[in-house]
Chains A and B, each alone.
Chain A
């Protein structure tokens, strides 16, 4: 599954715009990515979000990732 990375998150994967990884839930996805790119480790605690087919998930890590969905890793948004 291709996972695209947005903005400042790319810094942690040596500037790549996308990576290949297999995962069935958001939690699996993050765990596998952190294994491969340790610089991502601080993100889950300090601020990351995952978009699946356009819907942004900041917290629900058990959310399943359906096959063929478009997945994006983004910084965690805050508001005011």
Chain B
């Protein structure tokens, strides 16, 4: 059996035996800075915009709805099943489809929609990152297929950075089969190291902070 064969070779190479104790594991070196929520939001906006993303602040649900409507500017969109989006009333905006539960229907809709609207589970302030777990509320394709991605996030979700995320979610796989960190619009520099945005994922991203 290949498994036994490979494990045996590994053990022989290292001079270890099956079931031998593990040497002490080095520190992970997690460090979480102290940053007030307002500062986190400012930092996020700066980082996000440096990546060519656009940020907006909304003081109320109504304002959030209006902001998303103006970002859409008449485009068709797919909204995820995040309760926040329903709460804000985004799902009732014109040309916005939501509530899709079938994988193929969703994919079909996403490939023709002008934008995908989602919430986000967390936001990382220092790198300008949106963190999304795949779930009944959030499908993978909505933030991936359409050429534009609009994320509406509550301020409470803002973390200082990766270290804090991994402290909150030390075993991300306990929660979902997929956790994705989105840091800016899709891009490539594969030809002559010249930057082009919107290669496969969305070339346009927006974050509305509630």
Say whether A associates with B.
Answer: no
A-to-B contact residues, CB < 8 Å: none
